[in-house]
């Protein structure tokens, strides 16, 4: 069991390090919410309420 925990811990730390080193720009929470709202609004226009 300890080997599994150590293995997971090493994997997790590597994932975090990779994310920290990623030079690409991120997406803000506001942008994500605006995109989600646009999808919701588009669906509402296509599908009539029952």
Give the model confidence (pLDDT) of 1-50 as tens digits.
778 999 999 999 999 999 999 999 889 999 999 999 999 999 999 876 66
How many Cα atoms within 13 Å fall on the side-chain side of residue 19? 7
Residues contacting 25, CB < 8 A, separation 6+: none
What pTM does this model have?
A: 0.48
């Amino acid at each position: 069991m300890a080997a599994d925990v150590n293995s997971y811990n090493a994997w997790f730390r590597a994932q975090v390090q990779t994310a920290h080193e990623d030079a690409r720009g991120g997406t803000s929470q506001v942008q994500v919410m605006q995109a989600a709202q646009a999808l919701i609004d588009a669906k509402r226009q296509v599908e009539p309420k029952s």
